A and B are shown apart, each in its own frame.
Chain A
Amino acid sequence: MGKSLFDKIWDKHVVKSIPDGPEVLYIDCHLIHEVTSPQAFKGIENRGVSLFRPKQILATADHNVPTLNQHLPIKDELSRKQVQMLSDNCARHGVELYGLGHRYQGIVHVIGPELGVTQPGMTMVCGDSHTSTHGAFGAIAFGIGTSEVEMVFASQCLLQSHPKLMRISVEGELSKGVVAKDIILYIIAQLTSGGATGYFVEFAGSAIRALSMEARMTICNMSIEMGARGGMIAPDETTFAYMKGRPFAPQGTEWDRKVAEWKELYSDGDAIFDEEIFIDAAAIEPMITYGTNPGLGIGVTGSVPALDKVPDENEKKVIAKALQYMGLEAGKPLLDMPVQHVFIGSCTNSRIEDLRMVAGVIKGRHKHDGVNVMIVPGSQQVAAQIVEEGLDKVFEAAGFVIRQAGCSACLGMNEDKVPAGEYCVSTSNRNFEGRQGAGARTLLASPLTAAAAALTGKVTDVRELI
């Protein structure tokens, strides 16, 4: 029987199997950041052991950093302490850190790929659920908790049970104004926010193959939002072209050897999945969420569900509660609803291609007066590239404020927050209650739809602007 992409990688990384228990899975690459690592470093130190493979760890500061004036000391005392502790811990344990001010600093899931650290066939983990992003390169990548960070510190291994496997094939061509973010929001709306729990998901099909690496990352990034442990896409020429020449990518003959190896990473024709799902790309519209989990999304021209049309009683309760929080009416369209904020950023959509997309829509136009627009590049390198390509001029002329790299309003740990009761069209990945600040109301959408909202000050069908 053939093997799935997942199993080809998994099987190579099993150190041993524990009878009636999980498997000991070897981790090639461990990414860390300031928020979920301090307790793990402390744990290791309390046990009096050293880090097992510090050279396989890469650190950055992203979750809890300011996005203005990064050259100045961080004002918030707790944040400053947390970021300082990461520097101290990395220095003490010999871990490479791209901290504030470093030209490689940025959101952990943006910098791994752009530095060529993320590679096909790897196992990768990070104390952050969106580690699934790296699966876009054909890696097994998933988020872990702090105890697990400590386990990888101690042994470069984790105890893991083999997940169930799901394949989602998206076939056909996307229509105008529909991008990767819409594909994944559509899939999550179909499957619900818990629909892939217990599964690792492989995305396949002609529409996925046709996507750029940035777009594939957007899709894998949000696979966690339907409960999946991770998402992945088989590597191909698009992957290799993206990786070639990046600082940590293999060079010279080593590169050729690796590419030959990576070309074997695909699901065999007769590989078996526990669940197979087929999606018609042409059926997808620009998407937007109306509720408080990423599964509550609709086409931008659609209406919020009418409660009497929701058959399941529990589901009805979930939606009613969400609408109450969001201040929205059941059965009504979202189109033309005023919004006060637009956030373009996060590990879902803050790469250069995302920002080019935004620039394409707003070029020669100006933002609506009533909207506050935050644009936060995913990394220092993305920020530098914006300037190199002259996109900064486009953003500034449109009245957008460009901030410095970090997670920012994606989770509202720093001062970039949305005030209570106000609406934000956001390119990030979570619309949970209070995610962008206590009482904040988040509408998740693609960079195109976010750009359109910035121009009109309301929920807009971007297809009318392009």
Chain B
Amino acid sequence: MKAFTTISSRIVPLPIENVDTDQIIPARFLKATTKEGFGENLFRDWRYDASGAPVRDFILNNPLYEGQILVAGKNFGCGSSREHAAWSIADYGFKVVVSSFFADIFRNNALNNGLLPVVVTDAFLQKLLNLDRMDTVTVDLAAQTITIDGTGEQEGFAINGYKKTCLLNGYDDIDYLLSIRPEIETYEQSRK
């Protein structure tokens, strides 16, 4: 996993609540056996119509908007456990997803892929969604803050200390778990 650094970027607003994993990446695209290339079909059925033509007013098809920070309505990522949802968002080029509420499994999946879920208050979320498209936002993981650069308005966000260290250093849980295999064996023995 790549280490997470501070991100300053314009945002892509998606003011929709309950964005579920079937919208992020529909099941018919889950047949792949690698993690790459899912970005192409991110939000597939909102982005393209039945004939495959881009839907004009969907935000990802609007050339005026771009950035590494996706800002979405509350209860983002609900539904299935498919990690493909996090892979598609990361593969598309987003580094941060901001919402006022994330579904549990999605949040874990994002963190496991170096994609940072940032929880903000409803009021701050509204501010972000209403920004001018040229405004930039800075997400500083070390300081655990998200700032609207133009106005300096800022909020802190919570993250588990262990996960933060992992992200900042690009470690992953598997390296850690492999390193404690002997302790796990001792635990197994103790249960017999």
Contact A432 B161 (CB under 8 A): no
Q: How far is the CA of A39 from the CA of B162 in the complex (A)?
A: 24
Contact A38 B18 (CB under 8 A): no
List residues of B (65-122) whose CB comes within 8 Å of A's CBs: 73-75, 78-84, 86, 101, 103-105, 108-109, 112-113
- What string of 1s and 0s marks CB contacts (under 8 Å) between A168-195 and chain B? 0000000000000000000000000110
List residues of B (153-189) whose CB comes within 8 Å of A's CBs: 160-163, 172-174, 176-178, 180-181, 183-184, 187-188
Segment with Cβ contacts to A, from B6-14, B26-34, B137-145: B26-34
Q: How far is the CA of A128 from the CA of B27 in the complex (A)?
A: 13
Residues of B with Cβ closer than 8 Å to A? 16-18, 20, 22-23, 26-28, 30-35, 45, 50, 73-75, 78-84, 86, 101, 103-105, 108-109, 112-113, 160-163, 172-174, 176-178, 180-181, 183-184, 187-188, 191
A202 in contact (CB, < 8 A): no
Please name the 9 residue pairs, one residue from A and one from B, whose CB atoms are nearest each other, closest first. A21-B162, A145-B83, A147-B112, A155-B177, A78-B31, A145-B109, A20-B161, A143-B81, A38-B33
Contact A128 B33 (CB under 8 A): no
List residues of A (280-328) whose CB comes within 8 Å of B's CBs: 293, 314, 317-318, 321
A18 in contact (CB, < 8 A): yes
Chain B residue, CB-CB nearest to A198:
B104
Contact A412 B113 (CB under 8 A): no
- Closest chain-B Cβ to A190's Cβ sits at a distance in Å of 16
Q: In the complex, which residues of chain A have a beta carbon less than 8 angstroms from the beta carbon of B16?
A: 321
Segment with Cβ contacts to B, from A79-87, A243-251, A395-403, A455-463: A79-87
Contact B162 A129 (CB under 8 A): no
Contact among B18, B45, B83, B105 with A194 in the assembled complex (CB-CB below 8 Å): B18
Known A-B contacts A39-B35, A145-B83, A227-B104; the reply to A434 vs B23 at CB < 8 A is yes
Known A-B contacts A143-B105, A314-B17; the reply to A42 vs B34 at CB < 8 A is yes
Contact B105 A129 (CB under 8 A): yes
Contact among A63, A129, A412 with B79 in the assembled complex (CB-CB below 8 Å): A129
A146 in contact (CB, < 8 A): yes
Contact A159 B173 (CB under 8 A): yes
